[in-house]
Structure 1
Amino acid sequence: MIHPTKLVQILSSLAVLGSTFTFFQYAPTTLAKHGARSNDHDHHRHLAARRSVAQAVRRRTGSKTNLIKRGADGSKCRVKGQAYTPPSVSTSTSTTSDSTTSTTSTTSITTQSTTVWSSPPPTSTVPPASSPLPTSSAASGPVVAGDWAASSGNNGQNWGGWKNQGKKFGLAWPNGNWAGSSDSNYIGNYIGSKTSWYYTWSPFSVSSGDSLGIEFVPMLWGPNQVSDWWGQQGHWPNTVKNAFFFNEPNEQSQSNIAAGASVQYWMNDYLPLRNKGIALGSAATTNAPSGVQWVMDSISACKQYGNAAADCQPDFAVCHWYSTQVSDMQNYLWNYHQTTGLKIWVTEYACQSYSNLPQCSNGDTWYLHQTMAEWMDSQDYILRYSPFGAMENLQGVNQDNALMNPWGSITDLGNWYIWNS
């Protein structure tokens, strides 16, 4: 686990067709070279993607995209059980470090334009910064399935693309959009007969993947990505039918926000997607005990602040899992489903020991992936899954889990997933 580096403010001024657009956004300190992949692939945790919202300008000029990503110094992990309280928010919910998760992403892309949402809709009921979060016991028992009637009419079960519809396997894809069809790391080489969807840990899609018919699932990674979230919605492909909320909010090195503090982002920035028929996934939590607790506490806090119960409820759950035993993963996913009352998207998993358990061998890794893919395909309550990961460097995760070689070509495990899983 690694702490992110400090963020710096970037001012970007663009002039097109006689009109001047000025954008202010917060961006991380590490900038990739213009039109090239960043060499900063040495961090174990997620690297949040950032870029300007002026996508149409870059398309017209034909210029390649600058990638801006957040680095991490890897100095230390927070002590397990240490509480965290966001500034100006009083809450009974604390974040807990988890030694069993991992994510990376450095993605930014332009897609076809639709109707642009230039600004958020009127604000919904959210907690004032000074209000304490009432204590929640929501995670003490399973939720009755009837309590989870989602207004989107989707419930995370609809496919938005036309390629491999009905297949659960998808790509966790942090590789950007620069690869062409002749490149080994071209997303088209990772579709086969099984890949039906992908996500980028961000609101930026991959236009080549969109044109090939796989569904894009946008993610509101955390509070610092809100401006990108609104700016990109007009550029999403029409394959978007589902979305993800915050990335590992119960983990200090990730979006790291208390459940009560997340309510304003859910209500004001995320919930409006339901009016467009998009199903809302929960935050993607780690498999620490604090993960499912965070989801339950966020729903409870949302309702306690006076919002309608239906508005506070996700349409499906999103979770991550890292360990070594197939039976542990199966039990964890079943318990997550039982506790939340929701069907599940598993958007990161790998055979990786972060404890005193022995590290997975290559044989162990293959066994976990093959067994779990077959098992998840057979479980009605598991809607989609995407292993970690389709990237050149797994950022500290056991490299035997890689679907992509360090030079960009697909691995044997990757080939197995896209053709045989």
Structure 2
Amino acid sequence: MAVRKQIFSLISLLSIAVLIASFQTTSVSALSLDSHHHARDLHHHDIVAKKKRSTKQKRCKSRPAPSSASAPAPSKSAAVAAAPAPASSSHPAATHSSTPQAASPPPPPKTTSSPPPKASQSSSGSSQSFASFMPNKALLGWGADPSGINQWLHMDVYYNWGPTPSTQGAAPKFMPMLWGTKNTDTWTSQVLNSPNPPFAVKSFNEPELPGSGSLSPSDAAGVWNQLLLPLVKKGVQVGSPAVTSDSGAKPWLNSFFAACNNGLPNCGARFVDIHYYGQNAQDLISFVEDMHNTYGLPIMVSEFACQSFTGGAPSTQSQVDSFAGTVTAFMQSTDYIIAYAAFGAINDIESTGVAATNSMFNGNSESPNALAEIYYPVLG
């Protein structure tokens, strides 16, 4: 009898164990949009240091340039002194604690590498709105001491790869930038929720490059809809993610536009933002034309220099001056180009992998030199 009771008790315990196991579930962790950035903490001088990358970038096949590009380069030449030592950061370094754990966006539709339909908004419409904001198309990428920018007051607008101005003192107008998925608390408080929204903002920096922005199209689309789309709806001129002339740039941008799925052409971007580094002015012109023909939007060239990262000798001063003259003639005479920023207002420019001949500083003074005056006639 005792044995029978023991067997019955054992069977009961086994039944309870099986019942409990059948109700157990496995928890699944939510994906954070910026989890792949946790090991990175790039300050804007580190951002430009990505120019040291050794990976070969392919440029678009050259096409005959418009007649405006054939204008002879100015004979003016400048001997550029070595750049000064790096200055202190022009904006606070990002901290990971400020990055919200954004909810995963809904599954995007199946994407392809084909470009989206061209925007119904004409290029001239956006260009006209930029005409009063940047009448000289003179955009300055500032990576130097904040106090030096007061020597560049003739420039229309500047940016510093961050969301807040470098200085509260005298300076050109400021354009905020959401570089990636960091600093989003600052972006939200200072830009997104500002009672006085900016006229225009820049978005993600070279997201298609592993050594730079390194952001997937779907993750970028989720952050865009959360932190940039509300600005679009307020009438802010929001630029597309800034892509390069790398062969993977257009496929990335096409996938990004498809992944947004917010009902707006090109996710609501009002202009296409691009970067170019190379020693052939005609290649730059062809790249700009191709991007405009593909997307039908105004173009902002927010980084470029006469610099090759595929080997070869550094550009001489005469080569840089000639490049600058040809490019400037094209930029100034092309209606759909709303602004351009030569990469050269940077302390210790050689540490970024760019030759000192591209510097736009007069030695240690951070004042515009002769090359700056070639790029920007308004400074002359």
The AA in structure 2 aligned to 1:320 is H
Offset, 1:275: 3.3
**1:344–1:383 contact (8 Å) kept in structure 2:** yes
State the Cα deviation string for residues 26-61 of structure 1 (Å, max 9, x = none): x9498xxxxxxxxx96x5x437xxxxxxxxxxxxxx
Aligned to 1:199: 159
1:173 aligned residue (131, 135, 142)? 142
2:216 to 254, 258, 262: 258
Contact 1:105 1:174 in 2 (8 A): no
Aligned partners of 2:326, 2:215: CA distance in 1, in Å? 34
Can you list the C-alpha shifts for 1:190-211, whole angstroms capped at 9, x where unaligned? 233xx111111110113446x5
Contact 2:113 2:251 survives alignment (8 Å): no
In 2: Cα distance, 1:318 partner to 1:281 partner: 6
- What is the CA–CA distance in structure 1 between the aligned matches of 2:311 and 2:130, rounded to whole Å? 40
| Pair 1:371 & 2:326 matched | yes
- Partner residue of 1:289 out of 225, 235, 247: 247
After superposing the two structures, state which structure 1 stretch, 359-368 or 241-250, moved more.
359-368
* One of 42, 46, 49 as aligned partner of 2:48: 46
1:263–1:301 contact (8 Å) kept in structure 2: yes
1:400-415 paired onto structure 2 within 5 Å: 400-405=357-362, 407-410=364-367, 411-415=369-373
Query: Which runs of structure 2 are paired with 1:214-253 in the superposition (5 Å)?
Result: 214-233=172-191, 240-253=198-211
The answer (yes or no) to whether the contact 1:217–1:242 under 8 Å persists in 2 is: yes
Change (3 A) 1:143 1:359: farther
- Could you list the runs of 5+ residues in structure 2 that have no partner in the other structure? 1-36, 60-86, 93-99
CA contact (8 A) 2:142 2:158 kept: yes
1:247 deviates by 0.4
Distance of aligned partners of 1:238 and 1:372 in 2 relative to their CA distance in 1, 3 Å threshold: farther
Shift in alpha-carbon separation, 1:158–1:240, aligned structure 2, 3 A: farther
Of Structure 1 and Structure 2, which has the larger fraction of its residues in strand? 1
Q: 1:161, 1:197 within 8 Å by CA — same for their partners in 2?
A: no
2:273 alignment partner, one of 318, 338, 346:
318
Counterpart residue type for residue 217 of structure 1: M
Deviation (angstroms), 1:160:
9.4
Change (3 A) 1:232 1:397: same
Q: CA RMSD in A?
A: 3.8
Residue of structure 2 aligned with 1:390, choices 334, 340, 345:
345
Partner of 2:105: 127
- Cα offsets for 1:328-369 (capped at 9, x unmatched): 111110001111111100000000011245432211101111
TM-score (structure 1 length as normaliser): 0.63
Name 1:12's counterpart in structure 2: none
Q: Matches of 1:231 and 1:418 in 2, distance apart? A: 36
Residue 312 of structure 1 aligns with an amino acid whose one-letter code is C
Give the CA deviation at 1:407: 1.7
Tell me how many residue pairs correspond in the alignment.
307
Q: Aligned letter for 1:171?
A: L
Distance 2:200 2:285 in 1: 24
What are the superposed Cα offsets for residues 266-291 of structure 1, whole Å, 9 maximum, x if unpaired? 10111111233211100111110212
Structure of higher CA gyration radius? 2
Change (3 A) 1:198 1:287: same
Query: Partner of 1:287: helix, strand, or coil?
Result: coil
CA drift of 1:399 comes to: 1.1
Paired position in structure 2 for 1:352:
307
Q: Deviations over 1:186-229 (max 9, x none)?
A: 2121233xx111111110113446x55x3211110001221221
Alignment-derived partner of residue 69 in structure 1? none
- Structure 2 SS opposite 1:224: coil
CA spacing shift, 1:234–1:321, aligned 2, 3 Å: closer
| Distance in 2 between residues matched to 1:398 and 1:237, nearest whole Å | 42
Deviations 1:80-125 (Å, cap 9, x if unpaired)? 7xxxxxxxxxxxxxxxxx488xxx994328xxxxxxxxxx9xx99x
Instruction: Map residues 330-341 of structure 1 onto 2, 5 A cutoff.
Output: 330-341=285-296
Q: Which amino acid aligns with 2:366?
A: S
Measured after TM superposition, the shift of residue 302 of structure 1 is 1.5
Q: How does 1:177-188 map onto structure 2 within 5 Å?
A: 177=146, 179=147, 186-188=148-150
Shift in Å at residue 232 of structure 1?
2.0
Please identify which structure carries the higher helix content: 2
How many Å separate the matches in 2 of 1:228 and 1:149?
A: 33
The whole-number CA distance in structure 1 between the counterparts of 2:241 and 2:192 is 23
The equivalent position to 2:152 in structure 1, one of 181, 184, 190, is: 190
- The TM-score with structure 2 as length reference comes to 0.69
